[in-house]
Amino acid sequence: MNTINIKKGDTAVVISGKEKGKQAKVLRVEPAKNKVVLEGTNMLTKHKKPKNQTTPGGIIKQEGSLDASNVMVVCPKCSKATRVGHKIEDGKKARICKKCGATL
């Protein structure tokens, strides 16, 4: 199983598919399924049934998951889509930008 180098809270850009070019914040990561959910991308419509009189039903828009291979992390320093490298700094493993070397 591959590891995902994307973490919750990162800014990421979609590199392929119908949402190509969109840049958004990562809301959720599912490593077991190799999926990520980005804010405002891959919007799905869900038809929700009302549970009782106080909670209304209706059509709800929500984000769908994307495959992690179709998403790249955006470096906060150089603001470019980049591959993620790893480096040991102060005894801890840190993620670094492959383009500028900044810590992610």
1-34 per-position pLDDT tens digit: 567 889 999 999 999 999 899 999 999 999 999 9
Count of CB atoms situated within 10 Å of the CB of 85: 14
Count of CB atoms situated within 10 Å of the CB of 83: 11
**What are 7's two structure tokens?**
């973490």
Beta bridge partners of 3: none
Predicted local distance difference test score (pLDDT) of residue 1: 52
First to last CA, the chain: 23
Question: What are the residue ranges spanned by the domains of the chain?
Answer: 11-50+58-78
25-78 per-position pLDDT tens digit: 999 999 999 999 999 999 999 999 998 888 888 999 999 999 999 999 999 888
> Taking the alpha carbons of 16, 19, 22, 26 in that order, is the dihedral positive or negative?
negative
CATH 2.30.30.30 is right for the domain spanning 11-50+58-78: yes
